Amino acid sequence: MPFDGRVLSGVGVLAAVVEGGSFVKAAELLGMTDSGISRAIGRLEARIGVRLLDRTTRSMVLTDEGRRFYEDVKPHLDGIESAVIIASGTSSTVRGRLKVDIDPFFLPLVLAGRLGTFCDRHRDLSIEFVTREHIGDLVAEGIDLAIRFGQPRLSTLVSRKLIEAPILTVASPRYLDRYGHPEHPTDLSRHHCLQFIDPHSRKPYEWEFIRGHETIDVVTSGPLTFTDPKSMLEECLAGTGIAQVIGWGVGHWLERGELIDLFPDWHGEQFPLFAYHPSRNHPPAKVRAFIDFCMEIVRDL
């Protein structure tokens, strides 16, 4: 059918609904009324002949057709936004709203307390963080970027490996005073080891140690199993058990002697950090700026 300029306006409203998660939020973002948002979506659905949203008084979700449509049009909206920024002569300015699905370890233990620097640099940008075990539906939830540890498992997303983090095996002096210092990784089979659940397999991560070309897998067990890395670290600090952790988040505890790196010669295991995008198009400036900031932080740790 011939292009109808009103479709573009409707697509902008749809994007606000998806990103806001509701008609109410979309109305706030666009300065419209709830009924105005509803009428705009209705007109868009009528023009393209497809129902885009299933909506009730309590929830809103994209239909299958709506999801496919939004996946197709979202990159073009991002391109229009970038073009406007370039045309206005402020291509280096990062602004708007950024929604990030972020790893439950990376946010509280690496970024928290440092985000003010990013906010000071980009005062026209607001950020919403979503933290959970699994990556959500980036398109349906209006998420611009996901940052996660571990190998990619979602073929529908564009992934880019950012960096690899060292894995350390640590214990508190309180634990070592009580149970002794293991001399070799294989000694851990006789110690209290705090377990952490792999969100994909729903089983505890296996403990692996690498030194040069030598690799050892050690079967460990312990009194506690976690899905929250911060709680696991708190118990490790309290002397409950030994933990394997990503080295970036524990440097200050190691410096103060509150945690001890048990096997400094066995740091060969690395855990990759990936960025995920919902589109193969070049990511917008706000996404690139946040990724660059994350890289800046981890390189200084």
Contacts of residue 282, Cβ cutoff 8 Å, sequence gap at least 6: none
Residues 149 and 37 in one domain: no
Question: In this predicted structure, what is the pLDDT of residue 91?
Answer: 47
Domain hosting residue 169, numbered range = 96-301
Residues 47 and 115 in one domain: no
Nearest of 226, 208, 191 to residue 270 by alpha carbon: 208
Nearest of 193, 206, 190, 213 to residue 266 by alpha carbon: 213
Residues 83 and 100 in one domain: no
Nearest of 165, 126, 174 to residue 269 by alpha carbon: 165
Identify residue 282 by its one-letter amino acid code: H
Residues 229 and 285 in one domain: yes
Residues in the chain: 301
Pick the last residue of a domain from 59, 91, 123. 91
Question: In this predicted structure, what is the pLDDT of residue 86?
Answer: 56
Q: Which residues of the chain have pLDDT under 70?
A: 1-6, 56-59, 78-79, 81-93, 154-156, 280-282
Pick the last residue of a domain from 34, 68, 91. 91
Identify residue 165 by its one-letter amino acid code: A
Count of structural domains within the chain: 2
Pick the last residue of a domain from 68, 91, 114. 91
CATH code of the domain covering residue 49? 1.10.10.10
Residues 156 and 252 in one domain: yes
Question: In this predicted structure, what is the pLDDT of residue 117?
Answer: 94
Question: In this predicted structure, what is the pLDDT of residue 13?
Answer: 85
Question: In this predicted structure, what is the pLDDT of residue 85?
Answer: 57
Residues 42 and 115 in one domain: no
b/e 191-215 (16+ beta carbons within 10 angstroms → b): bbbbbbeeeeeeebeebebeeeeee
This prediction's pTM: 0.68
Q: Please write the tens of the pLDDT for every residue from 151-180.
A: 777 666 788 889 899 999 999 999 999 999
CATH code of the domain covering residue 134? 3.40.190.290
